[in-house]
Amino acid sequence: MFTFLINRNLYNVKILIYCAKDEIFCLQELNYLINSYMRCKISDIIQLFFPETCVICENTLAYGEISVCLSCSSVLPCTLFTSEPENQLEKNFFGRIPIIEGTALLYYQVGNPTQKLLHQLKYKGREEVGTFLGNWLGEVIKQSARFKEIEAVIPVPLHLKKERQRGYNQVSEFGRCISLILGVPFIENVLIRNVFKESQTKKDRIHRLISDGLYAVENSAVLKDKHILLLDDVITSGATIEACCQALYQIPGIKISVAAMAYTG
Ligand SMILES: [Zn+2]
C-alpha cells in the first residue's frame, strides 16, 4: 500500500509517496496514478481538506478566489493614484526629494479593511497577501503610461531583526510579483539597511532616518542611469522613502518612482 501525504506550503504542493518495501507498485502504474491525480485538479482536492479562507473576513474562499474573497476585494479602498499625476502621495514629497511618479494601491486607516489585510501580512505569516497586492498593483501599473520607463524594482529593506522574526520581508513578494508583470529585474542587493548602534536609536525617528544614514547603497553600478521603482508597504510621513532616496541618489543618473501597498493620507 502507499500513502499520499499532501503538505501545503503557500503555493508549493509537495507530494511524498511512501511505499512499503514489500509492496512496491509497478512504477508505471504508480506514475499513471500520480499523473491522474495531478490532472484531476490537485488544488481542488487540497481545498476540500484544507479550505483556504479570506484573510479579511475569514470565510472560505470560493473557486477562483485567491487570498481575499470577492466581497472583501470589492470594498477595499483604492486610491486610483496610478492614473492621477500630482496625486496626494506625490505632493507629500514636493520640496523634499525628487520623485518621478508615485502611487499606492489602497488607502490605509485604523480599522479599515486595508489595516486588517496588512496586519495579516506583517504579523500573521500570511505572505500570500504580498502576492495578491503585487499582482493587483503590477497589472494596474502595467496599464499606466506614467510607469512605462521603469527598468528595475527595489524593495525598502526591512530591519534584519524584524525580517528574521517574520521569516520574510513583507515587501519582497509584493515586489517580485510587480517585477514579473513589468518584465524588469527585482533587485535586493543594492539598497541596504545599516545596523544601528544603541545610542543612535534614541534620536527621533525622522531625524534618525535621514541624518544618520540608515540606508546605504552597494553594487551601485547595477542601477547607474536606471529608472527604478522603489517599493514600501505603507507610506505615512514618507520619511523611510525620503531616507532611501537620499542613499539611492548617490548613484549617477538614477531616477526614482515610488509605489506602495497603501497610503495613510
Ligand atoms: Zn472576505
**pTM to 2 decimal places:** 0.77
Four-residue CA torsion sign, 215, 221, 224, 226: negative
Are residues 215 and 111 part of one domain? yes
Which runs of consecutive H residues, i.e. helices, occur in the chain?
27-39, 42-49, 70-75, 88-91, 113-123, 128-142, 160-166, 172-182, 205-211, 239-248
> What is the Å distance from ligand 1's center to 93 Cα?
34
> Is residue 106 a part of any domain in this protein?
yes
Indicate the burial class of 46 (C-beta count within 10 angstroms; 0-12, 13-18, 19 or more).
middle
> What is the Å distance from ligand 1's center to 53 Cα?
8
Task: List, for residues 12-28, the tens digit of each pLDDT value.
Answer: 333 444 444 444 445 55
> What is the Å distance from ligand 1's center to 184 Cα?
32
Are residues 225 and 114 part of one domain? yes
> What is the Å distance from ligand 1's center to 75 Cα?
10
Task: Quote the percentage of the chain above a pLDDT of 70.
Answer: 75
> What is the Å distance from ligand 1's center to 202 Cα?
41
Grid cell in block for residue 12: 508549493
Q: What's 204's domain CATH number? A: 3.40.50.2020
> Is residue 237 a part of any domain in this protein?
yes
Are residues 141 and 45 part of one domain? no
> What is the Å distance from ligand 1's center to 24 Cα?
45
Task: List, for residues 138-187, the tens digit of each pLDDT value.
Answer: 999 999 999 999 999 999 998 777 777 777 788 999 999 999 999 999 99
Count the domains in the chain: 2
Q: Which of 29-33, 77-81, 139-143, 162-166 has the lowest mean pLDDT?
A: 29-33
Task: List, for residues 119-145, the tens digit of each pLDDT value.
Answer: 999 988 898 999 999 999 999 999 999
Q: Which domain holds residue 45?
A: 2-49
